[in-house]
Amino acid sequence: MIPLFWEIAIGILAGFLAGQIMRGRGYGVLLDLVLGLVGAVIGGFVFALFGLRGYGLVGQLVTATAGAALLIWVARRL
């Protein structure tokens, strides 16, 4: 139960940070959560392509934020 809480918290924070980085206002808690969680998967995949991996809370947050920012960038381009 506790690890799930941390994953959700990291997802919300990563989605919020990605919205701020991409010069937005955020998308609300639910969409920030979705962006953060999907971004974590995308970020993990992209980081793995380069042989990188985020460890610990900060590493997971950086990975999820980078993936969410990439997801926002691609969505805005389409």
Q: How does pLDDT run across 16-29, given as a tens digit for each residue?
A: 888 888 876 667 77
Banded model confidence at residue 2, pLDDT cuts 50, 70, 90: low
User: 30-33 long-range contacts, Cβ below 8 Å, gap at least 24?
Assistant: 33/8
Contact 70, 39 (CB under 8 A): yes
SS3 state at 57 = helix
pLDDT of 35: 82
pLDDT of 75: 81
Residue 70 belongs to domain spanning? 2-77
Helical H runs in 1-55?
A: 2-21, 29-49
| pTM for the whole structure | 0.84
pLDDT in tens, 41-67: 898 899 999 999 888 889 989 999 999
CA distances for 31 relative to 11, 28, 35, 47, angstroms? 10, 6, 6, 23
**What's the domain count of the chain?**
1
Over residues 24-36, the mean pLDDT reads 74
